Amino acid sequence: MTGPVLPLVAVALVVVATIGIGVYGLRLARTTSDFLVASRTVSPLWNASAISGEYLSAASFLGVAGLVMAYGADALWYPVGFVAGYFVLLLFVAAPLRRSGAYTVPDFAEVRLGSRGLRRLCALAVVAIGLLYLVPQLHGAGLALRATTGAPVQVGAVLVAVVVTVNVAGGGMRSATFVQAFQYWLKLTALAVPAVFLLLAWQGDGRPALDTPTPPTFLQRTTVEVDSSTRFVVDEPVTVTVDGRQRRLEEGSTAVPGGSPVVFPAGAAVPHVASLAPATGLDWSRPLSGAGGVEHPLYATYALVLATFLGTMGLPHVLVRFYTNPDGRAARRTTLGVLALLGAFYLLPAVYGALGRLYVPELLLTGRTDAVVLSLPVAALSGPAGPLLQALLVAGAFAAFLSTSSGLLVTTAGVLAQDLLPAGRGDRAPGRVRGSVRGFQLAALGTGGVSLLVALPAAALPLTQVVGLAFAVAASTFCPLLVLGIWWRGLTVAGAGAGLLVGGGLSTLAVAATLTGSVGSDGWPAALLAQPAAWTVPTAFAVMVAGSLATRGTVPPDVGRTMMLLHAPEGLGLPAGSGPPGHADRSSPETTARRRQRAVRRTAP
C-alpha cells in the first residue's frame, strides 16, 4: 500500500469539482442577456454524456472488472447488457416516453392509465429500485477508500453519503447536465489512461498468456493481508511465511489466525476464497464454462441478459434525464449517443479484469475482486507511475459514486416527496401536484440516511451483482408497464397494478433471499434466486396481460388519444401532439434566416 495522500487528494478534487460545477457552472455559463440563451436547449451529445455520466456507477467502474477477473467470459454479459439496455430503450421507449411529457415512471402511469393508486405503486417501486441501486454505490466508496488508503470500509460510505445528501438537499444539483457530462469524460479518462499504461507494461513483460491450462499463480513473491475471518481453499500444498516463520498450507479449507500478512513464494498457485472456485485460464476465457463456480451458467447468462436488457428502461435516474430532450426525436438521438459513449467505456473494464488475474491474483484469495481496478497500477507498474495512475482511478471511481448517487437521490427523493410523503395542508384535491421544498429536503435526507444505514453492515456480494439485482427488479416492474403501456391499448389499471405487485414482489423476495444468503449457494434454487429476471419478468408480463384481459371493460376510454400523444411525431399539428409549441405560428422562413444571421453576428465580437 502506498501512502494515502495521493488518493485522498484525488477524492477531494473530485468532490470539490462536483460541488463547484453544480453551484457555479450555471453562473459561469449563463451570465449574459444574449438573445439566444433562452432558445438553446441541451444538445443530444451533451445530454448523452450526462446520461452516461450518471449511469456509469461503482458497478461499472469497479465491479465489472472484478467480475470479469473472477468469473471470466460470462461476466462480459454485464457490460454488454448495460449497454444493450439502451438499445431496447431506443427501440421501444425513448421517443414515446418523451412525448408523453412524463418526468418519472409514476407520471407515465398517470398519463397512460389515469390512476392515482397506480401512481403510488410505481412511486414505491422507484424508491425500492433507487435504494437497491444506491446502497452498492456507498459500499463501493467504502471499498475504494479501503483499497487505496487502508481506511475502514465505513469511512468512504459515510463520506459519499454525506457529500451527496448535503449537496442534493442544499440544491446543489440545480443544473446537473454539465456536472454529469463532466463526470462521464472524467470516468472515461480515468479508466482509459491507466489502461494504456497497463497494456504497455503487459507488453513489456512479454505478454504473459491468460488462457493457461492452470489456475492463476503468483508471478512474484507476494505478501497478502488476510483478515482472520476469510476462509480460503488451498488446492496445492504450499509453504508460506507467516510472521517470519515458515508454515505449510495443506490442501483444503483454511484460515490464517490473527490476520497476519502471509508471504507466498513466486509461482505458487493462488488459493481461492471459499465462495469462489478456482478456474484454469482456459476455462476462464471460455463462455459458459462455469468459471468461478457458477452453477447453471447457461441459465444465469440468459437471466442476466434479460435483466440488463430490459432493466435499463426502468432505472429512475436514467429516465428523468430524457425529460431534458426537447422532443421525441432528440430523445432518440440522445439514446444513440449514449450507446456510443457507453460502448466505448465498457471496452475498458475487461482489460482490467484480465490483467488482474496476472498481476493481482491475491484478490482471488481475499475475495476483494472489486478492488482490482484500483490495485492494478501499483502492482503492475514500477516507479511513480503506479501511485499517480491509482490516484486518477480513485478520482474516476469517486466521480462514479458521486454522479450516480446524486442522480439516484434527486430522483428518489423527488418521487418520495411528491407521491409518498403525507400531503401538506389544503393540498389533497385530486389532480393537484404535491411536493414542496421542505418535503424534498426531508426526503433527500431520509433516503440518504436509510441507504447509508443499509450500506454500513458490509454486504458480502460483489457490487455489480447487487446492481444486477436492482436491474432485475426494474425489469420485472417498469419494463412490462412501459412496454405494454406504450404498445398495447388493452392495458388496464387492474392489470398493470397486478403485474407490478407480482413482478415487484417476486423479484424483491428473490433479492432479499440472495442478499441475506438464506438459501445457500448450491443448486437450482440458489441459481433461480441469484438471477431472478428469467422467471420474474415473463411472470410480470403474463400477469399484466392476463389481468388486463380479465378487466377488459375498464380500459381507459381515452386510450386512443393517449396512444396518439405517445406515437404521433411532433410537428404534425395533431391536436394531442405535444411538440414544440407554436410550430404553426412561429418561424417564418424570414425570421429563421434572420436568427441565423444574428447568431453569426453575435458570436463575432
Partner 1 sequence: MADGVLAPAVLGGVVLLVLAVLWWAARGRRAFGTVEERATYAALHEASLAAPPLREGLNARSAATSARHLRALLASPAVAVTDTEQLLAWEGVGEVHARAAQRLAREALDAGRPTVTDGLVCGDPDCPLRAVVVAPLVLDERVVGTVGAYGPAASPGLVSAVAEVARWVSGQLELAELDESRSRLAEAQVRALRAQISPHFVFNALTAIASFVRTDPERARELLLDFADYTRYSSRTHGDFTTLAEELRSVDRYLLLEKARFGERLQVVLRVAPEVLPVAVPYLCLQPLVENAVQHGLERGGGSGTVTVVADDDGGLCRITVEDDGAGSDPERVRAVLAGTASDVDGHTSVGLGNVDARLRALYGDDHGLVVETAPGAGTKVTVRVPKFSAGVRVGGPAS
Q: Which residues, 340 to 379, sit near partner 1 by CB under 8 A?
A: none
Residues 98-137 that bind partner 1 (CB under 8 A): 101-104, 107, 110-111, 114
Of residues 385 and 454, the one with the C-beta less far from partner 1: 454
Does residue 559 interact with partner 1 by CB under 8 A?
no
Q: Which is nearer to partner 1, 347 or 512 (CB)?
A: 512
Query: For residues 244 and 460, which CB has a smaller minimum distance to partner 1 in the complex?
Result: 460
Q: Supply the minimum distance, in Å, between the C-beta of residue 501 and partner 1.
A: 11
- Find, among 248, 204, 256, 213, the residue nearest to 231 by Cα: 256
Task: Pick the closer one to partner 1 by CB: 3 or 171.
Answer: 171
Identity of the residue numbered 12: A
Where do the H-state alpha helices sit in 270-296? 281-285
Q: By CB under 8 A, which span of 96-104, 158-166, 298-306, 377-385 interacts with partner 1? A: 96-104
Within 394-423, the residues that bind partner 1 by CB under 8 A are 410-411, 413-415, 417-418
Strands 272-273 and 252-254, by their bridges, are unpaired
CB closer to partner 1 out of 310 and 330: 330
Closest to partner 1 by CB, 217 or 366 = 366
Q: Which residues pair with 273 in a beta bridge?
A: 232
**Distance, CA of 370 to CA of 362 (rounded, Å):** 12
Q: Which is nearer to partner 1, 384 or 517 (CB)?
A: 517
CA dihedral 353→357→362→368, nearest 10 degrees, is 20
Q: How many CA atoms lie within 13 A of 402 on its CB side?
A: 33
For 234, 235, 241, 248, the CA distances from 245, given in Å and listed in that order, are: 19, 21, 5, 10
Positions in 139-198 near partner 1 (CB under 8 A): 171, 173-177
Minimum distance between the CB of residue 350 and partner 1, rounded to whole angstroms? Answer: 28
* Binding residues with partner 1: total (CB under 8 A): 81
Q: Restricting to residues 262-321, which ones interact with partner 1 according to CB under 8 A?
A: none
Phi, psi of 404 (to 5 degrees): -65, -45
**Closer to partner 1 at the Cβ: 81 or 439?**
439
Distance CA 34, CA 38 (A): 8
Residues 585-604 that bind partner 1 (CB under 8 A): 585-586, 591, 594, 598
466/572 Cα distance (integer angstroms) = 44
Q: Do 110 and 433 touch, CB atoms closer than 8 A?
A: no
Q: Is 135 or 238 the residue whose CB approaches partner 1 more closely?
A: 135
Q: Hey, which residues between 447 and 466 contact partner 1 (CB under 8 A)?
A: 453-454, 457-460
Of 69, 57, 5, 94, the residue nearest 482 (C-alpha):
94
Contact residue for partner 1 among 246, 252, 383, 433 (CB under 8 A): 433
With contacts defined by CB under 8 A, name the span among 3-11, 31-39, 356-364, 537-545 that binds partner 1: 31-39
Rounded to the nearest 10°, the torsion over CA 47, 483, 136, 255 is -140
User: Binders of partner 1 among 565-584, rule CB under 8 A?
Assistant: 565, 575-582, 584
Between residue 35 and residue 94, which ones bind partner 1 under the rule CB under 8 A? Answer: 35, 37-42
Grid coordinates representing 524 are 437450482
- x/- track of binding to partner 1 for residues 1-30 (CB under 8 A): -------------------------xx--x
Site for partner 1 in 511-550 (CB under 8 A): 512, 515-518
The helix (H) or strand (E) run that includes residue 36 is none
Q: Which of 213, 431, 520, 589 binds partner 1 (CB under 8 A)?
A: 431
For the bound state, the minimum distance from the C-beta of residue 602 to partner 1, rounded and expressed in Å, comes to 11
Kindly tell me which of 177 and 548 has the beta carbon lying closer to partner 1: 177
Q: Please report, as residue ranges, which positions from 317 to 336 form the binding site for partner 1 (by CB under 8 A).
A: 323-327
Cell of 591: 425570421
- Smallest separation (angstroms) from partner 1 to the CB of 511: 9
Distance CA 466, CA 384 (A): 35
Number of alpha carbons in the 13 Å side-chain half-sphere of residue 342:
27
List CB contacts of 497: < 8 A, sequence separation 6 or more: 115, 117, 118, 121, 547
CB 240 within 8 A of CB 262: yes
